[in-house]
Amino acid sequence: MAYTKPIPDPDPVHRPYWEGAREGKLMLPRCTTCNRVHWYPRLLCPFCHSREIEWIEASGEGRIHTFAVQHRAFGGWADEVPFVTAYIDLHEGDRMFTVLRGVDPTKPETIRIGAKVRVEFERANDEVSIPFWRVVEE
Amino acid sequence: MPGALSRAAAIIGAAEADEIGYPATPKTALQLHIEAIKNVSEQTGIPISRIDGVFSAGWSSQLAEHLGLRPKYIDTTSVGGCSFEMHVHHALAAIHAGIIDVALISHGENGWSARATGGRGTGRPRGAPDPWDPGQQFQAVYGVAGAPSNYAHAMTRHNYRFGSTPEDFAHIAVVTRQWAMLNPRAIMFSKETNPGGGPITVEDVQNSRVVAWPLTLLHCCLVTDYGGAVLVARPEIARSVKTKPVWIAGAGESMGHQNMLEMEDFTATSAAASAAAAYRMAGMGPEDMEMAMIYDSFTVTAGITAEMLGLAPRGEGFMLWKDGRAAPGGKFPINTNGGGLSFNHSGMYGMQLLVEAYRQLSRTAEDGVTGLPGKQVDARSCIVNGTGGSLSTTGTLILVAD
Ligand SMILES: [Zn+2]
């Protein structure tokens, strides 16, 4: 079935992330001066302002920092309401936004902040796959 | 001891467009600007030609051209709803520096009318956002749809961290509605002015349609039209006009992030920093404040901000409303116009905060500007805090009566 939701148009700074996603890998930028991972990708490390940034393959694990249940959306997402959006604390550090899988949007009280999540990828077209995070067993 | 800028200028007038809220005939943002500017000029007796500094959220060169002005200071800072509190801060500094004498701060936004005009007359560029923007690549891809979808995440985290509940925050909507019922200019003044108007209960708030859980519709602000303008002038001018001055005792601004991806603590904003700067300049503290005008795009915005301003302990901002202190007749009135929740919210609400703070501290809230009524409270100092973006940017003012 065709992917009907927004498909990103990767810019040069962000491209390694989307190239990784196409191959099923979660790639993250890490500063080799202070060794910290940051998200979203930057031209300078936001912590020490070094230009020395490399891309690493991440574990693909994280935990829910906070979440909400979207009952109103536009475009392709309008067909999916209600769905759960979440900020994920990455195992490697910093935070990412996603649509959460493996949860019941009609029972938000059953979704736990701090729950373990793992990344998975959905193919949007030949060029782009999109990362989503799923709640998994501890 | 107050800082050098404290009381270096005063707000000398604050007016609204001829018609605000849900106009029967669609209005453009420019119309709303110009009506308010004309009204504040008539209110104060300051001719428009005497304005030498123009401040607005993105409109300054267009406004100056429309008015035939050649300003000495042009500032068009547009960082969301707190922009107007920042403009007052910037105008204070420009006046103190001797660059200008009279600053115009103007706002016009047709949040309501734009629905009827297909987005025309907003003054905003039309078309798709830049696909290379990080927010487009890393957030829009996941279906976020405007402010409520973002702000909901802050409520969830506050509930988790402090054991608060959405019902606790619903009290903010209930009390703010009580203020709106004292302000005939408010959209939600009564059942006659709007089918959804009149009194509401915590149950009504919780049972209203879910927009972005845990935010239901009545946790969210209105979408209306608004035009507002204030004049800020140096003390000699402030003493010579027919209106009462309201002194700018303190001002501060800050930001935590632009994109919510970068929000470190979902239960805190940069209002702690902007308020600290404003209190320091004023030589005053939270205990010296007698009322507050707090940006309430959502109940959660107001609750968290009250904590940041030092008006309530961490995790307990909502208690100001829940125990009635913020309500009509309470010891510490908050959002006496009925707020963004029940009075008016055009998209950027910082000007509405300024106009109401001026009306209260100049003792003109009863008959107000252009004869429009409201509810006067007995306060001589007011902390005003605007919040822009996704709990991103903040501007704080400490205003005192003459
Ligand atoms: Zn670094």
Q: Are strands A83-90 and A61-70 parallel, antiparallel or unpaired?
A: antiparallel
Helices (H) and strands (E) in chain B, counts: 13, 11
Neighbours of B18 (CB within 10 A): 16
Is B237 contained in some domain?
A: yes
Is A5 contained in some domain?
A: no
Say whether B261 and A80 touch across the interface (CB within 8 A).
no
Q: For chain A, what is the domain count? A: 1
Is A3 contained in some domain?
A: no
**Residues B35-57: tens digit of each pLDDT:** 999 999 999 999 999 999 999 99
Does A67 lie at the interface with B, CB-CB under 8 angstroms?
Answer: yes
Among candidate residues B137, B53, B98, the one with its CA nearest the CA of residue A16: B137
pLDDT of residue B293: 98
Running DSSP on this structure, what letter comes out for residue B143? T
Mean pLDDT of A38-62: 97
pLDDT of residue B370: 60
For the four alpha carbons of A82, B257, B304 and B110, in that order, the dihedral sign comes to negative
Among candidate residues A113, A96, A105, A102, the one with its CA nearest the CA of residue A77: A105
Is A6 contained in some domain?
A: no
Residue spans of alpha helices (H) in B55-103: 60-67, 83-96
From the CA of A83, how many Å to the nearest CA of chain B?
Answer: 9
- Which domain does B254 fall in, by range? 10-117+222-401
From the CA of B217, how many Å to the nearest CA of chain A?
Answer: 11
Mean pLDDT of A67-87: 96
Q: Which 254-283 residues of chain B touch chain A by CB within 8 A?
A: 259-261, 266
Among candidate residues B186, B225, B230, B185, the one with its CA nearest the CA of residue B15: B230
Residue A1 has pLDDT above 80, yes or no: no
From the CA of A137, how many Å to the nearest CA of chain B?
Answer: 21
Q: What percent of chain A has pLDDT over 90?
A: 93
pLDDT of residue B238: 98
Does B210 lie at the interface with A, CB-CB under 8 angstroms?
Answer: yes
Rounded to two decimals, the ipTM of the complex is: 0.95
Mean pLDDT of A98-102: 98
Is A39 contained in some domain?
A: yes
pLDDT of residue B369: 59
Is B208 contained in some domain?
A: no
Rg (CA), chain B: 19
Residue B282, phi then psi, degrees to nearest 5:
-75, -20
**Token pair recorded at residue B189:** 């003044």
Query: Considering only CB atoms, which chain A residues are within 8 Å of B137?
Result: 8-11, 14, 40
Query: Considering only CB atoms, which chain A residues are within 8 Å of B217?
Result: none
Q: For chain B, what is the domain count? A: 1
Give the type of residue at B371. Answer: G
Compute the distance from residue B109 Cα to the ligand 1 centre, in Å.
41
User: At which residue do the structure tokens 């920092």 appear?
Assistant: A65
Is A58 contained in some domain?
A: yes
Question: Residue B385 in contact with residue B395, Cβ under 8 Å?
Answer: yes
Q: How far apart are CA B159 and CA B214, in angstroms?
A: 10
How far is C-alpha A36 from the chain's CA centre?
A: 18
CATH number of the domain bearing residue B260: 3.40.47.10
Contacts of A81 (CB under 8 A, 6+ apart): A70, A71, A72, A73
From the CA of A28, how many Å to the nearest CA of chain B?
Answer: 13
Among candidate residues A109, A37, A29, the one with its CA nearest the CA of residue A69: A109
Residues of chain B predicted below pLDDT 70:
368-372
More confident of the two residues A9 and B231: B231
Mutate to test the interface with B, among A39, A97, A106 (most CBs of B within 10 A): A97
3-class secondary structure, A131: strand
Is A61 contained in some domain?
A: yes
Report the DSSP beta bridge partners of residue A133. Answer: A100, A119
Mutate to test the interface with A, among B161, B213, B219, B258 (most CBs of A within 10 A): B213
- Which domain does A23 fall in, by range? 15-135
Give the type of residue at B40. Answer: V
Neighbours of B5 (CB within 10 A): 19
CATH number of the domain bearing residue A99: 2.40.50.840
Say whether A6 and B154 touch across the interface (CB within 8 A).
no
Maximal C-alpha separation, chain A: 45
Mean pLDDT of A57-66: 98
Report the DSSP beta bridge partners of residue B254. Answer: B394
Running DSSP on this structure, what letter comes out for residue A118? E
